[in-house]
């Protein structure tokens, strides 16, 4: 798979063994400079591997007592992946919403998960 990351949180490649790799930015934040060039990187996803993208609003989600959800907590949810991309999102979403409770949020909470299904 080819990818470009314009300054967002790094995509995370994970599998049944946990986090395999964090895919760093390949250029500066999109839109900051005109005519900027971005490096194209590649990664091989094996069958049953996952790739997750997320905004900083996920790890910076606040509890009613102003505690961050945190990268540590988010990454811990990737150590034992679900059976599918939709189950993975639901697992993370449930944990984030339990953390947030009724606290107002100041940022978007956005995630996308890709799952390369195994061959059957």
What is the domain-level CATH number for residue 57? 3.60.40.10
39 in a domain, yes or no? yes
120 in a domain, yes or no? no
8 in a domain, yes or no? yes
User: Structural domain of residue 65, as residue ranges?
Assistant: 2-115
When comparing pLDDT for 34 and 65, which is higher? 65
90 in a domain, yes or no? yes
pLDDT by residue (tens digit) across 3-17?
988 878 899 999 999
pTM here is 0.88
Q: Which residue has the tokens 């299904």?
A: 117
pLDDT recorded at residue 28: 83
Tokens coding 69: 């959800």
85 in a domain, yes or no? yes
pLDDT recorded at residue 104: 93
Count structural domains, the chain.
1
Tokens coding 119: 């061959």
Report which secondary-structure segment, H or E, holds 109: none
Measured between alpha carbons, how far is 93 from 107 in angstroms, rounded to an integer? 15
pLDDT by residue (tens digit) across 60-104?
999 999 999 999 999 999 998 999 999 999 999 999 999 999 999
Handedness of CA 89, 92, 95, 98 (dihedral sign): negative
């Amino acid at each position: 798979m080819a990818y470009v990351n314009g300054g967002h949180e790094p995509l995370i490649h994970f599998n049944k063994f946990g986090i395999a790799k964090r895919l760093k930015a390949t250029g500066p934040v999109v839109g900051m400079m005109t005519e900027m060039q971005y490096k194209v990187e590649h990664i091989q996803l094996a069958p049953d591997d996952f790739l997750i993208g997320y905004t900083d609003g996920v790890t910076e989600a606040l509890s009613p007592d102003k505690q961050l959800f945190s990268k540590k907590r988010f990454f811990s949810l990737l150590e034992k992946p679900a059976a599918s991309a939709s189950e993975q999102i639901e697992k993370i979403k449930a944990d984030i919403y339990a953390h947030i409770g009724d606290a107002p949020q100041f940022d978007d909470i956005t995630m996308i998960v890709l799952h390369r299904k195994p061959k059957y």
